[in-house]
Structures are given as structure tokens and as C-alpha cells.
Amino acid sequence: GAGVSQTPSNKVTEKGKYVELRCDPISGHTALYWYRQSLGQGPEFLIYFQGTGAADDSGLPNDRFFAVRPEGSVSTLKIQRTERGDSAVYLCASSLGGDSPLHFGNGTRLTVT
Amino acid sequence: GNSVTQMEGPVTLSEEAFLTINCTYTATGYPSLFWYVQYPGEGLQLLLKATKADDKGSNKGFEATYRKETTSFHLEKGSVQVSDSAVYFCALRQGDTGRRALTFGSGTRLQVQP
């Protein structure tokens, strides 16, 4: 079956611009996570949705980062006024909730020039 | 706060060699522990997990035992194959607060040569 889909796979943007990254979770998965992975590092937690609501947004680094999941399926991560330090691979994962395993997408590689 | 420390890579082994990738953690309470693997060109996928002390997780010939006394969760495999070449991530999820986020280590790249 279809896995977690993230688009675009690559995004290059200029410093100061606004970007949106999209995640299509596995159908029926109620939990959705965003992580950020810098080169040579493990994924770093950003935000977790249970259904439509953000159950834990403690990992968002500052108020330039925002994420939504209005209908409880697709999610969009939004980054305003991008900075070069935002360059990383942004990973999305979904699960059935509880202790069920996370299924990760292949990520969006964001490069801020 | 929570943290996971893994041995640095790359780890380079010949086919059929024994593998150990060390992982230690710092956490409050009783975390669940995981190993994730990322094969070239693919997304992270769960390899194995253990949810309480002395549990052993196993999958595809890999094993890891949750050692609370040493706060460790080392990954082992008795005989690696070229197809095991990947990046391996140790991770924990804090168990007693309901927080669902995983905390990952920095990853260890394994290269298996024929």
C-alpha cells in the first residue's frame, strides 16, 4: 500500500522567503509527526498531531515555524522568513496512535540560499 | 532532558562478521527504546523495540536488550550481510508522561563489504 508521501522532495529557496512542505500520511493514521534532520544528525522532533489538533508543539524552534492539519489527514509545515540555518531534511511520520510504530516518509530536503 | 548517545561511524565490516552498535540513553522514568534503520534512498523504518527493562527486541537477525542498570540498548547481529548496509538510529520515547515524541541518537552508518 501507499506509504507516507512528502512533497516536494527537494526545495531550494532564498533567505527570507516563505515555504510550505506537505505531508500525506498513510490512510487511517490518526497521529502525525514532523521531524527535522540536519546533516550527520538524528531526527529532531518538531510537532505532533493527534487528529486535527497539535498535541505537542514543544519542538518548534521559534514562531517562524507553524504546522496545520485541518482535516486530520494531510499536514503542511510552514516556515516564514527562512534562514540558512533552516536548511535540513524535514521528515514526516504517521502512525495509528498509541504505541503503534511510526512510518516515515522520505523527507523534503530544504536548502535556503 | 532526554538524550541518546550512539557510537560514531562509519562502521565497516566484512560480510558474516559480528556487529555491535552501542547505544546509551539518559531519560527520566521508564522509556521505551527503539532501533530505526534507514536504507539508501528510503525512509526511516522501525527495526526493533523494547518497552521495559530486560526485554529483548529482535527482527531480521538483529537483537537489542533493554539494560536499565547500564542505561543501554546495544544493537547486535551475529552475521551481517551486504544488504544490512544502512544508517542505524537508536531512539527513546519517554514512558511515563504520555509524551509521544521520539528522541533520536545521531545515527551510525554501517558499511558491509563482500
Q: For A20-24, A42-46, A74-78, A100-104, which range has the lowest pLDDT when averaged over its residues? A: A100-104
Residue of A nearest to B88 (CA): A42
- State the DSSP string of B36-96: EEE-TTS--EEEEEE-STT-EEEETTEEEE-BTTTTB--EEESS--GGG-EEEEEEEE-SS
Contacts with A91 from chain B: Cβ below 8 Å: 43-44
Residue A1 burial by Cβ neighbours in a 10 Å radius (0-12, 13-18, 19+) = exposed
Contact (Cβ atoms closer than 8 angstroms) between residue B31 and residue B47? no
With an 8 Å Cβ cutoff, are A58 and B32 in contact?
Answer: no
pLDDT of residue A1: 56
With an 8 Å Cβ cutoff, are B105 and A42 in contact?
Answer: yes
Q: What is the mean pLDDT of residues B31-45?
A: 93
For A4-25, the pLDDT digits (tens) are 999 999 999 999 999 999 999 9
For residue A64, the tally of other CB atoms under 10 A from its CB is 14
What are the backbone angles phi and psi of residue A88, rounded to the nearest 5°?
A: 180, 175
Residue of B nearest to A103 (CA): B45
Q: How far is B101 from chain A (nearest CA, A)?
A: 6
Interface test with A, best of B89, B100, B103, B104 (most A CBs within 10 A): B100
Can you tell me the distance from the alpha carbon of B8 to that of B49, in angstroms, rounded to the nearest whole number? 21
Share of chain B above pLDDT 70, in %: 96
What confidence category does residue B70 fall into, taking pLDDT thresholds of 50, 70 and 90? very high
pLDDT of residue A92: 97
Residue B95, C-beta contacts closer than 8 angstroms, at least 6 positions apart: B29, B30, B31, B32, B51
Whether residue A32 is predicted with pLDDT greater than 60 in this model: the reply is yes
Residue B65 burial by Cβ neighbours in a 10 Å radius (0-12, 13-18, 19+) = middle
In 3D space, the residue among A79, A86, A93, A80 whose CA is nearest the CA of residue A32 turns out to be A93
For B97-112, the pLDDT digits (tens) are 567 789 999 999 999 9
Q: How far is B110 from chain A (nearest CA, A)?
A: 14
Whether residue B20 is predicted with pLDDT greater than 80 in this model: the reply is yes
Whether residue B96 is predicted with pLDDT greater than 70 in this model: the reply is no
For A50-85, the pLDDT digits (tens) are 999 999 999 999 999 999 999 999 999 999 999 999
pLDDT of residue B98: 60
Mean pLDDT for chain B? 93
pLDDT of residue B23: 98
Contact (Cβ atoms closer than 8 angstroms) between residue B63 and residue B76? yes
Contacts with B102 from chain A: Cβ below 8 Å: 33, 43, 45, 102
Query: Which tops the pLDDT comparison, A39 or A110?
Result: A110
Residue of A nearest to B35 (CA): A101
Mean pLDDT for chain A? 95
What confidence category does residue B69 fall into, taking pLDDT thresholds of 50, 70 and 90? very high
